[in-house]
Amino acid sequence: MNLFKSLENYGLMQHYIDFFDWIFTDKFDNSRWNNKNKIQCFTKRLYNYTGLEKKNRIYEAQNKINFPDDAKKLSFTFVCMSKGDSFGRDWIRHIRNSIAHGHCVFHICNGQYYLEMMDYSNNNCNRQTAYFFVPLTYLFQTKKDYDELDRRWEKLTMRRD
What are the pLDDT digits (tens) for 66-110? Answer: 888 765 667 789 999 999 889 999 999 999 999 999 999 998 888
Q: What integer pLDDT is reported at residue 53 of this predicted model?
A: 93
Q: Which pLDDT band, with edges at 50, 70 and 90, does 36 fall under? A: confident
Is the model's pLDDT at 63 over the cut of 60?
Answer: yes
Q: What integer pLDDT is reported at residue 83 of this predicted model?
A: 92
Give the whole-angstrom CA distance, residue 135 versus residue 127. Answer: 25
Q: Which pLDDT band, with edges at 50, 70 and 90, does 35 fall under? A: confident
Q: What integer pLDDT is reported at residue 160 of this predicted model?
A: 64
CB of 26 within 8 A of CB of 89?
no
Give the whole-angstrom CA distance, residue 14 versus residue 3. Answer: 13
Q: Which pLDDT band, with edges at 50, 70 and 90, does 32 fall under? A: confident
Backbone angles phi, psi at 136, to 5 degrees: -55, -30
Residue 117, number of CB atoms within 10 A of its CB: 23
Which residues, including other chains, have CB under 8 Å from residue 19's CB and lie 6 or more apart? Answer: 139, 140, 143
Is the model's pLDDT at 41 over the cut of 70?
Answer: yes
Which residues, including other chains, have CB under 8 Å from residue 30's CB and lie 6 or more apart? Answer: none
Q: Which pLDDT band, with edges at 50, 70 and 90, does 127 fall under? A: confident
For residue range 43-59, list pLDDT tens digits in order: 999 999 999 999 999 99
- What is the b/e burial string over 10-43, where b = at least 16 CB atoms within 10 angstroms of the residue's CB? eeeeeebeebbebbeeeebeeebbeeeebbeebb
Q: Which pLDDT band, with edges at 50, 70 and 90, does 130 fall under? A: very high
Residue 18 host element (H or E): helix 13-23
CB of 132 within 8 A of CB of 77?
no
